[in-house]
Amino acid sequence: MKIAILPGDGIGTEIVAQAVNVLNALGQKFEMETAPVGGAGYEAHGHPLPDGTLKLAKEADAILFGAVGDWKYDTLERSLRPEQAILGLRKHLTLFANFRPAILYPELVGASTLKPEAVSGLDILIIRELNGDIYFGQPRGMREAPDGPFKGAREGFDTMRYSEPEIRRIAHVAFKAAQKRGKRLTSVDKANVLETFQFWKDIVTDVHKEYPDIELDHMYVDNAAMQLVRAPKKFDVIVTGNMFGDILSDAAAMLTGSIGMLPSASLDANSKGLYEPSHGSAPDIAGKGVANPLATILSAAMMLRFSLNLPAEADRIEKAVKHVLAQGLRTPDIYESGTTKVGTAEMGSAVVKALA
């Protein structure tokens, strides 16, 4: 089993090192190969997704990814910015289904910014389409407005679009995921304003005919944002487009106490996947040894379950994470008085110890 290890930038290197230690402690034979990506790829090879890194990602059975980005690259032309690496990997490997489980561990109820009664027991799954929508739609750019009340003025523009096969394949993934959980699916759209999302709603409704055991409802994205912070436990599985999913899953992250707790999996049609924490490279805390490595360690667990067919090992990691939280160990982002504050490496070592 070959795993491509792409730590990236900022805290990416710190948190991925801990996840690798955890994988090594499982007693399995993994072949792991590391390659630069993002800003690190640009520094090493002049491109955020160097050819060698893409080749490794294509050859590997799964990819463990840290995070990319740093403010210092903001002046580079867009195609060379670190964030293009993750968009490129998603596109080149057709990783179209992003799974972001938002689970609140009982020990972290106090770390959430929401009242305990609103979030305790939270266990929802957000499925975000990753290959389409306004993030990839062409044409896009900056130009002189060709028409409208500001004709001739400079304007920026992007194109929102979804094809029927793209919507069908993510809808099937979402209905199947709902079958393994509470059998409820909420499709989030903006059908009241956007043609793209009226089309999305129509196709999801059509796919639903194949899943009569699933209760489907539709919700506008503005209402979904409100419900996520008002009554998040009402949701079971949410499926939505690339941009709405990007935003809603970050909001869901805060329900769980910290974005540092939220793993993710991005899968292709054959369950090959890229596994990464839901957060970015956190330049504000990079190099300080305080980043929470648990989202990355939990992403490694998802990798074992979804791509490497090692569900028992995935369970072991998740139990070890629960154990360290029950021991009261907390990185600063989830710290509360009465618990023990630890750094990135101490948290990683505690998980390794708990595995034993």
Q: Please name the amino acid found at residue 356.
A: A
Query: Applying CB under 6 A, does 69 fall inside the site for ligand NAD?
Result: yes
Query: Applying CB under 6 A, does 88 fall inside the site for ligand NAD?
Result: no
Options 26, 67, 207, 310; binder of ligand NAD; rule CB under 6 A:
67
Query: Applying CB under 6 A, does 279 fall inside the site for ligand NAD?
Result: yes
> How many Cα atoms are found within 13 Å in the side-chain-facing hemisphere of 344?
23
**Strand pairing class (273-277; 263-267):** antiparallel
Instruction: List residues with catalytic annotation.
Output: 135, 190, 222, 246, 250
Who's near 241: CB < 8 A, 6+ residues apart?
A: 128, 129, 132, 133, 162, 188, 189, 196, 197, 200
Beta strands in 163-247 (DSSP E): 184-189, 215-220, 237-240
Which residues inside 127-166 make contact with ligand NAD, applying CB under 6 A? none
Beta strands in 97-178 (DSSP E): 97-103, 123-129, 141-144, 154-157
Task: Decide whether 56 or 185 has the Cβ nearer to ligand NAD.
Answer: 56
Token pair, residue 282, equals 């956190």
How many residues interact with ligand NAD (rule CB under 6 A)?
22
Output the smallest distance, CB 258 to ligand NAD, in A: 6
**Candidate segments 223-231, 232-240, 267-275, 281-289, binder of ligand NAD by CB under 6 A:** 281-289
Cα gap 245→307, rounded to integer Å: 22
Give which of 220, 11, 263 is closest to 126, Cα–Cα. 263
Task: Decide whether 41 or 260 has the Cβ nearer to ligand NAD.
Answer: 260
Output the smallest distance, CB 83 to ligand NAD, in A: 5
Options 285, 297, 301, 317; binder of ligand NAD; rule CB under 6 A:
285
Options 22, 40, 60, 86; binder of ligand NAD; rule CB under 6 A:
86
Beta strands in the chain (DSSP E): 2-8, 31-34, 62-67, 97-103, 123-129, 141-144, 154-157, 184-189, 215-220, 237-240, 263-267, 273-277, 329-330, 340-341
50: preceding bond cis by omega (within 30 degrees): no
Q: Helix, strand or coil for residue 262?
A: coil
Query: Applying CB under 6 A, does 280 fall inside the site for ligand NAD?
Result: yes
Which residues inside 332-351 make contact with ligand NAD, applying CB under 6 A? 333
Give the length of the chain.
Answer: 356
Task: Decide whether 182 or 283 has the Cβ nearer to ligand NAD.
Answer: 283
The continuous run of DSSP H or E covering 329 comes out as strand 329-330
Output the smallest distance, CB 307 to ligand NAD, in A: 18
**Strand pairing class (97-103; 62-67):** unpaired
Task: Decide whether 132 or 263 has the Cβ nearer to ligand NAD.
Answer: 263
Cα gap 335→321, rounded to integer Å: 15
Tell me if 296 sits within 8 A of 315, measured CB to CB.
Answer: no
Task: Decide whether 68 or 342 has the Cβ nearer to ligand NAD.
Answer: 68
Query: Applying CB under 6 A, does 41 fall inside the site for ligand NAD?
Result: no
Neighbours of 38 (CB within 10 A): 30
Output the smallest distance, CB 21 to ligand NAD, in A: 16
**Candidate segments 25-33, 101-109, 216-224, 277-285, binder of ligand NAD by CB under 6 A:** 277-285
Output the smallest distance, CB 34 to ligand NAD, in A: 16
Query: Applying CB under 6 A, does 78 fall inside the site for ligand NAD?
Result: no
Token pair, residue 16, equals 């991925």
For residues 2 to 31, the per-residue mask of contacts with ligand NAD, x marking binding by CB under 6 A and - elsewhere, is ---------x---x----------------
Tokens 């009569």 sit on residue: 212
**Candidate segments 130-138, 171-179, 229-237, 288-296, binder of ligand NAD by CB under 6 A:** 288-296
Residues that bind ligand NAD (CB under 6 A): 11, 15, 67-70, 83, 86, 259-260, 276, 279-285, 291-292, 295, 333
